[in-house]
Structure 1
Amino acid sequence: MELKGRVVVYSILGCPHCMRAKNTLLDLGVPYTDISLDTYPQCREEVKRLTGGRQTVPQIFFNAKHIGGNDDLQTLVKDTSQWEASLMELRNTSPGSDGPQIPDPSTAVKDSDAGEFTCEPDEYAKLVQDLKTSGLIKDHSKIFSNYKRSFVGREFVDWVVKTKGLDRSVAIEMGQALIDKHFGHDVKSDETFQDAPDKYYRLLEDDESTALNAGETSQCEPKPADELGEEIRKLILKIYTAFLSPDGKKVNYQGIGKSAEFEKYKQLTRQLHRVRISESNREEKLSFFINIYNALVIHANIVHGPATNLWQRYKFFNTIRYIIGGESYSLQDIENGVLRANRKGVGMFTRPFSQSDPRFKIALEKHEPLIHFALVCGAKSCPPIKTYSSKGIYEQLKVAAESFLDGDDGCQIDMKKRQVRLSKILKWYQEDFGRNKEEVLQWIVAHLPSESERKSQLTELLQGTKYRVDYMEYDWGVNS
């Protein structure tokens, strides 16, 4: 199709709504210029200015005319007369200076290739390798206990003194460093190394673990969670971009499982064993654990297949896990333990972490309601898949909430019946949004886009006293 005018789509990588919009334009033969806000982050302010403050993507322009997001584009396409009129204007009118301007390619953010990661060797990795060939690691049987693949504290100190020529005090410090660096741990979870004949320790890689990243521990110097998380995010983003369906609704799990990127990802998850998560702030924990949760769901679907009934879903969320910072985290642990500040989840009788649990120190001090629009459990009714970075995490989460709540999967309103139908996410986790249905609706109003029709409708309903709140059936069908 020949156009004098210009169609501009502002998007981000891996955004399902963006992919649907661009796919629609492709199907209709309409050429467009895609401006990625990942590549040209300076354009975000221009988007806000041109759209009256909108922060969601995509944002679509026909010359200077703001069409809106994907839903607006689909509405326009269905209106044959309006669509033909818009195309006629594009055919005959050149873009002016009052519309979106194409950024200079020289201003693009130069991003390192995802998957090409740096690794600074850990000085203790060599000690671990020597320990593995020392003969100290073996099964130890006691009257009431059997410690498989373990070594004795006293014997470790003796071995270091003899083979390394160091004082006992230094050898004890080295034993403690193995624990602190998450190479190993006390078999009874004590965090202190002792030069004693009745204290047993085990390397993390020798634990009998079902974690999907279990096995030989990375020999890289442990990285801060935000740094490692950003490397993982970039690789996940490449995977999402390549293996989401054209309409952004489904994940090609089989394709991911056979990809070179997924092999790199599995190798990278070994660095999670010793990642420095305890020093992270709230924003870093949010982005890190949201991305890891979503990636773990995909990893599990590839390795084990999807859960197809209630019992399998229970098992899926409670047994699928990664080793992170020396501790084991299931999907439930990440969502309810860390991100919901140690709150009981659906079907849980106790909080995920006791106060003596090392993971309790990692949990957020206050729950974050916005995570529910970012965590993707692998079901059709889940929010779209995205990745998140610690810089600007709250803005990213608010955009995700706006997109979900302003769509039919999140909220439906029938003004004639004065009925509101909500995603069951808002029922299962009601305490995160409010004490009752009215407070939940008020929370939704506060988190809908300012120009949203749903916002106006909910505001009107809340001004009265007669309205009904129901919940939509949750489609647990796998998004494959």
Structure 2
Amino acid sequence: MAETVASAPGRVTVYSITGCPHCVQAKASLGRLGVPVWDVDMGRHPELRVKVKELTGRSTVPQIFFNSVHVGGNDQLQKLTPEELARLVRLVKEEPVPADAPPIPENHSDVSEEPVEADEEFECEKDPLANMVVELKRSDVIGSQRKGLSLYKNSFSGAQLIGWLQKERGMATAEARETGQGLLEKKYMVAVSGCGKGEFAGSDSLYRLMEHDPHSALNTGQTATCKPLQAAELSTILREMILKLFSEHLSADGKCVDYKAMSLSPVFERYCDLAVQLQRVELLSLSREEKLAFFINTYNALVIHGHLRLGAPTNMWQRYRFFNYVSYLIGGEVFTLQDIENGVLRGNRKGVAQLLRPFSKTDPRLQVALPDAEPLIHFALNCGAKGCPPIKTYTPQDIDSQLRTAAEAFLENDDACVVDSGKGEVRLSQIFKWYKADFGGTDEKLLNWVLEHMSESSKKSSLQSVVTGGKVRLSYLPYDWSTNSSH
């Protein structure tokens, strides 16, 4: 958080978001100037987005004002000459905040970011069956079971479960069967391969506790003891928690993250406990907007979780493994990063270097997939643009406009789109090459899509003239895969 000095009559206003490296760097630079710095978190004050866009013409953050003089983003701040910077500092020190100064929230105490306190605890309502599952884990019922030629670890038969419920819980057979069905429906347990999935069978059908999922999902190994939370609510809490944690471990210049220290934080431990609750969330009742918000937030949190547990991938093979291996158990099914992006959010389309669609016709996860590809998700999933869009946690209520803002912010940057009207050349991010089918499939449709999703700017005018001028030379910019880890 930038240092605030109360002596000057004016102020510097910085519009930022939590977890934005360029915002951290800008605030660190401004904090050394000895002037009051008001830090407005756009994630907490989305009502100011439209006004800031009107004042700046930009969707990216940070946006910096000295009194009412708009400097631009972090890049523009760092490029100021000593003379220009001295003039702006004098303006703030000598002149009061003018009437046309950029807006700040009415409650001034809300301006600064609030750090995640180590003693914050997430409270949930315990599910009545949770204690029973904990006892079952301590029993000798769970073990290796053979069915045909296959051996299933950490499993038990329906008959074994009924026997345990009768002996340890004093249940009659009918009540024990009803409890078994409840454990199945509430996603505490799942039938193992080839044993049927819907109805509980109190025979030799085999089951496994959800937390004993063999796919090594990052949120398994613990019992999800809370009553199932609303999926959209849970994903928002997870995303905001990990963003604040990420922000706390950014270096002072905003250029790198100390993932090692982050992984040792007690806040990260609580994040992991909360991620366990994803095991039993209800997905099938989600609307399109709720699915978009839920899976975008979950994907972005899972990327950081994967970096903390496994380290950031450094070459093509490691990246392939990372996106096809790092996963969460969500609503009773395992979803890798690849499954979320290409299976759910792209309407079950093949991803980069994939030969098959993520979900087969019989895959239960296909019921969760959106009916069509959603092109805008590419600018919300772990966005790599220099300027971060002013929304990092997505909500179902306004998801389409939030995604549109993220696309505008992405296209404003020269590592996403460069137009040379003199040569009739357009250079776009590799994202547009990899997922060209989502943007129309042809060069002409792709360029029109980009044009339609850019904010009004000189770049858009240049692109418009190139597109209407006829033949366009389209090429793609190199993609920066380098990690921002400090270790």
Partner residue of 2:399? 393
Match of 2:96 among 89, 94, 97: 94
**Identity of counterpart residues, as a percentage?**
47
Q: Distance in 2 between matches of 1:337 and 1:120?
A: 32
Q: Does 1:370 align with 2:376?
A: yes
Q: Does 1:290 align with 2:296?
A: yes
Partner residue of 1:329? 335
Q: Distance in 2 between matches of 1:359 and 1:96?
A: 56
Q: Distance in 2 between matches of 1:68 and 1:159?
A: 67
Q: Does 1:266 align with 2:272?
A: yes
Specify every segment of 5 or more residues in structure 1 that has no aligned partner in the other structure, as ranges.
none
| 1:327 Cα deviation after fit | 1.2
CA RMSD of aligned residues (A): 3.0
Contact 1:40 1:108 in 2 (8 A): no
Contact 1:62 1:90 in 2 (8 A): yes
Match of 1:183 among 183, 188, 196: 188
Q: Which amino acid aligns with 1:374?
A: A
Match of 1:172 among 177, 180, 186: 177
Q: Which amino acid aligns with 2:162?
A: V
Partner residue of 2:312? 306
Pick which of 456-465 and 199-208 moved more. Answer: 199-208
**Structure 1 residues 274 and 371, CA, compared in 2 at 3 Å: closer, same or farther?**
same
Q: Which amino acid aligns with 2:263?
A: G
1:214-237: CA deviation from partner (whole Å, max 9, x where unpaired): 202222212121121122122112
The higher-RCO structure (CA 8 Å, 6+ apart) is 2
Q: Does 1:243 align with 2:249?
A: yes
| 1:146 Cα deviation after fit | 1.9
**Structure 1 residues 339 and 312, CA, compared in 2 at 3 Å: closer, same or farther?**
same
Q: Distance in 1 between matches of 2:36 and 2:386?
A: 32
Q: Does 1:210 align with 2:223?
A: no
| 1:102 Cα deviation after fit | 4.4
Partner residue of 1:424? 430
Partner residue of 1:467? 472
Secondary structure at the residue paired with 1:333? helix
**Structure 1 residues 429 and 338, CA, compared in 2 at 3 Å: closer, same or farther?**
same
Secondary structure at the residue paired with 1:363? coil
Partner residue of 2:121? 116
Q: Distance in 2 between matches of 1:35 and 1:317?
A: 34
Partner residue of 2:344? 338
Q: Distance in 1 between matches of 2:323 and 2:387?
A: 15
Match of 1:443 among 449, 453, 465: 449
Equivalence map 1:56-75=2 (5 Å): 56-74=60-78
Secondary structure at the residue paired with 2:449? helix
**Structure 1 residues 305 and 16, CA, compared in 2 at 3 Å: closer, same or farther?**
closer
**Structure 1 residues 82 and 143, CA, compared in 2 at 3 Å: closer, same or farther?**
closer
Contact 2:62 2:387 in 1 (8 A): no
1:107-166: CA deviation from partner (whole Å, max 9, x where unpaired): 849999675211211111122233334533232224422232222223333443555454
Secondary structure at the residue paired with 2:409? helix
* TM-score, normalisation: structure 1: 0.88
| 1:322 Cα deviation after fit | 1.5
Q: Distance in 2 between matches of 1:93 and 1:163?
A: 77
Q: Which amino acid aligns with 1:414?
A: D
Q: Distance in 2 between matches of 1:307 and 1:116?
A: 32
Q: Distance in 2 between matches of 1:325 and 1:107?
A: 39
1:168-220: CA deviation from partner (whole Å, max 9, x where unpaired): 44432321221221111111263223334331111123333322222022222
Q: Distance in 2 between matches of 1:299 and 1:49?
A: 36
Q: Does 1:138 align with 2:135?
A: no
Secondary structure at the residue paired with 1:128? helix
Equivalence map 1:32-51=2 (5 Å): 32-44=37-49, 46-48=51-53, 50-51=55-56
Partner residue of 1:105? 107
Q: Distance in 2 between matches of 1:312 and 1:146?
A: 30
Contact 2:177 2:202 in 1 (8 A): no
**Structure 1 residues 161 and 72, CA, compared in 2 at 3 Å: closer, same or farther?**
same
1:3-50: CA deviation from partner (whole Å, max 9, x where unpaired): 543222222222334334323433555542222234444444543564
Partner residue of 1:279? 285
Pick which of 171-180 and 1-10 moved more. Answer: 1-10
Pick which of 64-73 and 123-132 moved more. Answer: 64-73
Contact 2:466 2:472 in 1 (8 A): yes
Specify every segment of 5 or more residues in structure 2 that has no aligned partner in the other structure, as ranges.
none
Q: Which amino acid aligns with 1:283?
A: E
Secondary structure at the residue paired with 1:341? coil
Secondary structure at the residue paired with 1:461? helix
Q: Distance in 2 between matches of 1:106 and 1:421?
A: 43
Secondary structure at the residue paired with 2:480? coil
**Structure 1 residues 435 and 209, CA, compared in 2 at 3 Å: closer, same or farther?**
closer
**Structure 1 residues 414 and 41, CA, compared in 2 at 3 Å: closer, same or farther?**
closer
